Amino acid sequence: MKKHYAAIIRELSWGDFKLKYYGSVFGLLWSFLKPVIMLSILYVVFYSFLKITIEHYAWYLLIGIIFWNFFADATKDSIQNMYAKAHILKNTNTPPIVVMVSSIVHSLFTFLITLVAFFAIISMFGFAPSNALFFFPCIVLLAVLLTFAVSLIIVPLSVRFKDFEHMWDIFLQMLFWVTPIVYQHYAVPAAYVKWYLLNPLARIIIDARTVILAGAFPETKQILITIGIVLFLCAAAVFIFKRSDKSLVEQL
Partner 1 sequence: MNEKRPNMNPEIAIRAEHVSKVYKIPHERRVTLFETLAGYVMRKVSYETFFALEDVSFSIAKGEAIGLIGKNGSGKTTLLKILSGMIPPTSGSFAMRGKVAPFLSLGVGFHHELTAEENLYLYGAILGIPRRDITRRMSDILRFADVERFRNMKLKNFSSGMVSRLAFALMIETDSDILLLDEIFAVGDKDFIPQSFAVLEAYKKAGKTIVLASHNLALIESYCHKTMLLSEGKLEAFGNTKDVIARYVAH
Give the residues lining the site for partner 1 (CB under 8 A). 4, 7-8, 10-12, 15, 18-19, 22-23, 87-88, 90-94, 161-164, 167, 246, 249-250
Query: What is the closest distance, in whole angstroms, from the C-beta atom of residue 115 to partner 1 in the complex?
Result: 27
Query: What is the closest distance, in whole angstroms, from the C-beta atom of residue 20 to partner 1 in the complex?
Result: 10
Specify whether the backbone of 130 is left (phi greater than 0), alpha (psi in -120 to 50) or beta: beta
Rounded Cα–Cα distance for residues 10 and 7 (Å): 5
* SS3 category, 209: helix
Of the candidates 64, 35, 63, 54, the residue with the CA atom closest to the CA atom of residue 179: 64
Nearest to partner 1 of 5, 57 (CB atom): 5
Nearest to partner 1 of 12, 62 (CB atom): 12
Q: 127: which DSSP letter?
A: P
Decide: 151 and 74 in contact? Cβ < 8 Å. Answer: yes
Nearest to partner 1 of 221, 246 (CB atom): 246
Q: How many residues does the chain have?
A: 252
Nearest to partner 1 of 83, 192 (CB atom): 83
Query: What is the closest distance, in whole angstroms, from the C-beta atom of residue 121 to partner 1 in the complex?
Result: 32
Query: What is the closest distance, in whole angstroms, from the C-beta atom of residue 105 to partner 1 in the complex?
Result: 13
Rounded Cα–Cα distance for residues 153 and 146 (Å): 11
Nearest to partner 1 of 26, 134 (CB atom): 26
Rounded Cα–Cα distance for residues 115 and 125 (Å): 15
Contacts (Cβ under 8 Å, ≥6 apart) of 250: none
Query: What is the closest distance, in whole angstroms, from the C-beta atom of residue 21 to partner 1 in the complex?
Result: 11
